[in-house]
């Protein structure tokens, strides 16, 4: 009986550990809506260069209210971005960027970036988007 209990606990723990990566990663369509394109111009406030996705945040002036609103944008994984010319140092806090992508389904100020233009150079970089059609 003790052997069966131990085997059951081991199997359960193995299944739980195996399920964690499935919960941690998501498909584009689970969170973002390709039918809701978004383009924002703003100043970088934060960059999180981590797996499984790089995130960056920009302050954008709301066209209707004039207030500053912070937007978060998901890009692909670091290795996918590096293949498109990105480095950790490319986007710095304070840089002005123009982002195109798809808005979050829940309507929050979040999006999946498809491309990012560095305003100071005019150079566009693909964002290794999980939508699958970036530069």
User: pTM of this prediction?
Assistant: 0.77
Q: Is 21 helix (H, G, I), strand (E, B) or coil?
A: helix
Would you kindly state where each structural domain of the chain is located, as residue ranges?
26-126
Phi, psi angles (nearest 5°) of residue 50: -140, 160
Classified by CATH at the fold level, domain 26-126 comes out as OB fold (Dihydrolipoamide Acetyltransferase, E2P) (2.40.50)
The residue assigned the tokens 């960027």 is 97
pLDDT grade for 130, boundaries at 50, 70 and 90 = low
Give per-residue pLDDT as tens, 12-32.
555 444 444 444 445 666 788
Give per-residue pLDDT as tens, 61-80.
998 999 999 999 999 999 99
pLDDT reading at 116 higher than 60: yes
* 8-state DSSP, 100: E
């Amino acid at each position: 009986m003790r052997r069966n209990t131990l085997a059951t606990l081991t199997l359960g723990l193995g299944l739980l550990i195996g399920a964690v990566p499935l919960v941690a990663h998501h498909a584009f369509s689970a969170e973002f809506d390709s039918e809701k394109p978004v383009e924002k111009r703003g100043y970088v406030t934060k960059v999180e260069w981590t797996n499984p996705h790089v995130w960056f945040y920009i302050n954008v002036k709301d066209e209707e209210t004039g207030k500053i609103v912070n937007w978060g944008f998901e890009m692909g994984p670091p290795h996918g971005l590096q293949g498109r010319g990105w480095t950790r140092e490319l986007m710095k806090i304070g840089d002005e960027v123009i982002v195109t992508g798809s808005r979050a389904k829940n309507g929050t100020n979040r999006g999946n970036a498809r491309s990012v233009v560095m305003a100071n150079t005019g150079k566009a970089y693909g964002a290794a988007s999980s939508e699958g059609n970036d530069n």
